[in-house]
């Protein structure tokens, strides 16, 4: 190594403190996980200084590092545990190496190192960057495999404590960061069930795919026979095998309330034999119907029992009544939907009024009949659960 190149390396090394802070600042500015504070400032600066030391050692040796001699595993495990996404971890490392490469070229130019020597050193740094980032990728994969082998139980424990409100609120930020969650944004709570227990693995996979978003992966686990999760985006699920209840969005400290809503939505959707993903706005009055069994039974007795007593004719009356409500009380539309003559529809509705004592033109009566019909659809499933 000639004296001029040695001087460049010495000047570069002496600037380590500034370069370490420059790396930390650039990484925070560009990548959301680092900007969110998952990696403490002191640790990020120390990592930047370590990068300077690595580059300096490479320049002094004049050859790329041996992958086996690199100690990237510790820092990579730390980033994985801090919830830094794989793509951000990899891109942030390459950004730091690029900053250091540009700093070296700037220093070399200021000291008037020969262009061929600058080019040779730059090529060396490029080759070394490939070795270094490859080591990071391998270390990250190993860390993620290790975390996955132990992480399922930890994930389930965190979810159970969070959704049931039994976690110490002071522990939420640290625990959330481990799983890539932010205490500042809102999340949806999920509670999902497959028609068959053997289908729950497929359900968890579908939820993970559907709820994945740019702000992070869904946090899912198996709790009490169901798939439970916290997601940044509502899942879109249209599969006859699966039913999902949704609550939220809320911040993590309010997750017990959202999970209670998700559990209730799941129960209501299952009671009505529905598949798909449902929040309160999707089920609306059905939620109230399932919550008031005594009222439902009373209205069934008032409006439907007299029709049931008429046998087959009563079944025809109920069918006409259902369609009449579905058609907004319009007799012509009801007749067209059922393929009946208008006078037949009028006769059947009059018979319903005669048997029940109801006035079908009154809105409160229409609502009570809808409630009775809805409860009659729901009650058999409830009784069978």
- Residue pLDDT, tens place only, 54-108: 899 988 988 888 765 566 667 777 777 777 777 788 788 889 989 998 999 999 8
Question: What is the structure's pLDDT at 144?
Answer: 63
Cα–Cα distance measured from residue 311 to residue 302, given in angstroms and rounded to the nearest whole number? 17
Alpha carbon distances (Å) from 130 to 19, 23, 69, 238 = 21, 18, 15, 44
Alpha carbon distances (Å) from 54 to 2, 27, 68, 125 = 20, 18, 14, 10
User: What stretch of H or E contains 249?
Assistant: strand 242-250
Place of tokens 């699966």: 242
Q: What share of the chain has pLDDT > 90, as a percent?
A: 42
Q: CB of 320 within 8 A of CB of 348?
A: yes
Cα–Cα distance measured from residue 372 to residue 385, given in angstroms and rounded to the nearest whole number? 20
Cα–Cα distance measured from residue 347 to residue 27, given in angstroms and rounded to the nearest whole number? 77
Question: What is the structure's pLDDT at 117?
Answer: 87
Question: What is the structure's pLDDT at 312?
Answer: 94
Question: What is the structure's pLDDT at 384?
Answer: 41
Is 70 exceeded by the pLDDT of residue 205? Answer: yes
Q: CB of 105 within 8 A of CB of 55?
A: no
Mean pLDDT of 164-192: 87
Tell which residue, 165, 164, 188, has the closest CA to residue 250.
188
Pairing of strands 242-250, 187-194: antiparallel
- The CATH class given to the 3-151 domain equals mainly alpha
Cis amide prior to 249 (ω within 30 degrees): yes
Average pLDDT, the chain: 86
Cα–Cα distance measured from residue 72 to residue 97, given in angstroms and rounded to the nearest whole number? 14
Question: What is the structure's pLDDT at 115?
Answer: 86
Res. 19 pLDDT band, cuts 50 70 90: very high
- Helix%, strand%, coil% for the chain, nearest 5: 70, 10, 20
Cα–Cα distance measured from residue 344 to residue 87, given in angstroms and rounded to the nearest whole number? 68
- Cα 379 to its chain centre, rounded Å, is 33
Res. 385 pLDDT band, cuts 50 70 90: very low
Specify the pTM.
0.54
Cα–Cα distance measured from residue 243 to residue 245, given in angstroms and rounded to the nearest whole number? 7
Is 80 exceeded by the pLDDT of residue 139? Answer: no
> Thinking of the domain 289-384, which architecture would CATH place it in?
Orthogonal Bundle (1.10)
Question: What is the structure's pLDDT at 148?
Answer: 54
Beta-bridge partners for 250: 187
Residue-wise pLDDT for 214-257, tens only, equals: 556 788 988 888 999 999 888 888 889 999 999 999 999 999 99
Question: What is the structure's pLDDT at 382?
Answer: 47
Question: What is the structure's pLDDT at 11?
Answer: 92
Rounded to the nearest 10°, the torsion over CA 69, 71, 73, 77 is 180
Say how many residues make up the chain: 385
Mean pLDDT of 109-133: 86
Q: What share of the chain has pLDDT > 70, as a percent?
A: 91
Neighbours of 263 (CB within 10 A): 19
Res. 354 pLDDT band, cuts 50 70 90: very high
Helix (H, G, I), strand (E, B), or coil: what is residue 226? strand
Place of tokens 């220093």: 107
Question: What is the structure's pLDDT at 208?
Answer: 85
Res. 112 pLDDT band, cuts 50 70 90: confident
74 vs 338, more confident: 338
Res. 383 pLDDT band, cuts 50 70 90: very low
What does the block give as tokens for 279?
């929040």
What does the block give as tokens for 273?
């034999």
Lowest mean pLDDT among 43-57, 137-151, 327-341: 137-151
Q: CB of 210 within 8 A of CB of 204?
A: no
Residue 213 is given by DSSP the state B
Q: CB of 111 within 8 A of CB of 8?
A: yes
């Amino acid at each position: 190594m000639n004296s001029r190149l040695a001087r460049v390396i010495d000047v570069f090394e002496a600037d380590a403190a500034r370069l370490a802070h420059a790396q930390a600042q650039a990484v925070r500015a560009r990548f959301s996980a680092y900007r969110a504070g998952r990696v403490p400032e002191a640790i990020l600066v120390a990592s930047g200084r370590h990068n300077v030391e690595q580059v300096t050692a490479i320049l002094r040796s004049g050859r790329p590092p041996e992958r086996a001699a690199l100690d990237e595993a510790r820092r990579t495990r730390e980033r994985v545990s801090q919830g830094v996404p794989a793509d951000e971890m990899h891109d942030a490392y390459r950004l730091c190496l690029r900053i250091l490469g540009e700093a070296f070229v700037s220093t070399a130019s200021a000291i008037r190192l020969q262009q061929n020597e600058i080019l040779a050193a730059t090529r060396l740094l490029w080759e070394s960057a490939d070795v270094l980032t490859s080591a990071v990728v391998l270390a990250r994969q190993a860390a993620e495999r290790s975390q996955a082998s132990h992480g399922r139980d930890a994930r389930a424990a965190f979810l159970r404590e969070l959704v049931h409100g039994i976690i110490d609120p002071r522990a939420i930020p640290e625990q959330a960061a481990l799983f890539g969650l932010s205490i500042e944004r809102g999340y949806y709570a999920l509670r999902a069930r497959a028609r068959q227990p053997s289908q729950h693995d497929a359900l968890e996979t579908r939820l993970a795919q559907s709820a994945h978003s740019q702000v992070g992966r869904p946090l899912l686990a198996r709790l009490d026979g169901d798939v439970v999760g916290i997601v940044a985006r509502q899942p879109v699920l249209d599969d006859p095998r699966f039913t999902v209840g949704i609550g939220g969005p809320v911040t993590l400290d309010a997750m017990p309330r959202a999970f209670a809503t998700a559990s209730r939505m799941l129960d209501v959707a299952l009671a009505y034999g529905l598949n798909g993903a449902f929040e309160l706005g999707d089920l609306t009055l059905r939620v109230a119907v399932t919550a008031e069994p005594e009222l439902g039974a009373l209205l069934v007795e008032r409006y439907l029992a007299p029709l049931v007593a008429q046998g087959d004719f009563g079944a025809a009356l109920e069918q006409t009544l259902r369609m009449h409500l579905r058609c907004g009380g319009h007799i012509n539309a009801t007749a067209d939907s059922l393929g009946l003559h208008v006078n037949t529809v009028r006769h059947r509705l009059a018979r319903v009024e005669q048997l029940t004592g109801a006035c079908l033109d009154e809105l409160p009566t229409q609502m009570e009949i809808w409630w009775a019909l809805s409860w009659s659809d729901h009650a058999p499933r409830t009784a069978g659960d």
